[in-house]
Chains A and B, each alone.
Chain A
Amino acid sequence: MNLFRSEEHVRRWSQFNPAAEEGFIALPDLASFFGTETRQHMLDADYLSVWYPRRAAERRAVLERLGKTSPFWLGTPAPS
């Protein structure tokens, strides 16, 4: 889960996984994905018991909105 200077740099990266061609995400989408409501409560005293359990459903909703509905993004089998 890394940042790169551009998609071209990702593809040139020595450890690029050719099966991860769908692994790109635009920075504004990433900020949205990691800026959901639960993330805004990480400093709350009850974050772990109240907010963290809501995270999975929230993440899935964002991924669906972004059109990232493949197993790769929603939770994957082990890489082949």
Chain B
Amino acid sequence: MADPRLVDRMFHRIMRTLVETGRAPHYAELARPLSLSVGEARRALLEVMQAYPIGWLHPETDYIASFPPLNSLPTQYRISVRGEQKWFAQCGFEATSVTWLFPGRTVRIEAPCLDCGDTMLVEMRDGRLLTVNPRSVVGHLNYGFGPSRGTPPYL
């Protein structure tokens, strides 16, 4: 069991890297900044993911696929900040939480509707909804909380 402070530090580093680059780091990239061996970094990553089960590694790998509210694996929920689109939200619900990763900035969520493919646009700043187009955009949970989490298709 790793030092809880180390698990916190690794979580923080992963989240910061996602915010800065749009992708999650590999554990080997986390080793040196955290003063760990590569093997220790891998073990710490597994502890982070165990402590944060709403995210997940890609099956049969140690690659971070999902680290909500962001996703390293692209989804249909494209996130732009300052005109730059380099992030993806884990799902439509988590997309509304991305605003808290970019304080003071307008966060733009664009996604195709799964029914018709037409684009939806939502803009938020510091938790406030600024733009919703069309105004009828709605969230939907298809299987209740729990069973659908982390399983494809992400419904």
A50: nearest residue on chain B (CB-CB)?
B8
CA distance A14 to B147 in the complex (A): 19
Which applies to chain A's interface (DSSP): helix, strand, loop or mixed? mixed
> What is the CB-to-nearest-CB distance from A27 to chain B, in angstroms, rounded to a whole number?
5
Q: Are B124 and A9 in contact, CB atoms less than 8 angstroms apart?
A: no
Q: Are A10 and B140 in contact, CB atoms less than 8 angstroms apart?
A: yes
Q: Which chain A residues border B124 with CB–CB below 8 Å?
A: 31
Q: Are A12 and B141 in contact, CB atoms less than 8 angstroms apart?
A: no
CA distance A75 to B91 in the complex (A): 18
What sequence of 0s and 1s flags, for each residue 46-87 of chain B, a beta carbon within 8 Å of any chain A beta carbon? Answer: 001001100000000000000001000000010000000000
Q: Which chain A residues border B11 with CB–CB below 8 Å?
A: 47-48
What sequence of 0s and 1s flags, for each residue 1-13 of chain A, a beta carbon within 8 Å of any chain B beta carbon? Answer: 1111111011011
Q: Are B15 and A1 in contact, CB atoms less than 8 angstroms apart?
A: no
CA distance A35 to B124 in the complex (A): 11
What sequence of 0s and 1s flags, for each residue 62-79 of chain A, a beta carbon within 8 Å of any chain B beta carbon? Answer: 000000000111111111
Q: Are B122 and A27 in contact, CB atoms less than 8 angstroms apart?
A: yes
Q: Are B137 and A72 in contact, CB atoms less than 8 angstroms apart?
A: no
Q: Indicate the size class of the contact surface on chain A.
A: 35 or more
CB of B1 closer than 8 Å to a CB of A: no
Q: Which chain A residues border B5 with CB–CB below 8 Å?
A: 49
CB of B99 closer than 8 Å to a CB of A: yes
Answer whether A1 and B120 are a contact pair too, CB < 8 Å, given A34-B94, A49-B8, A52-B52: no
Q: Which chain B residues border A12 with CB–CB below 8 Å?
A: 115-116
CA distance A52 to B136 in the complex (A): 32
- Contacts A2-B139, A4-B120, A23-B141 aside, 13 further interface pairs with beta carbons under 8 A come to A2-B91, A3-B113, A3-B122, A4-B115, A10-B138, A15-B142, A16-B142, A31-B96, A31-B127, A34-B94, A46-B8, A47-B12, A52-B51
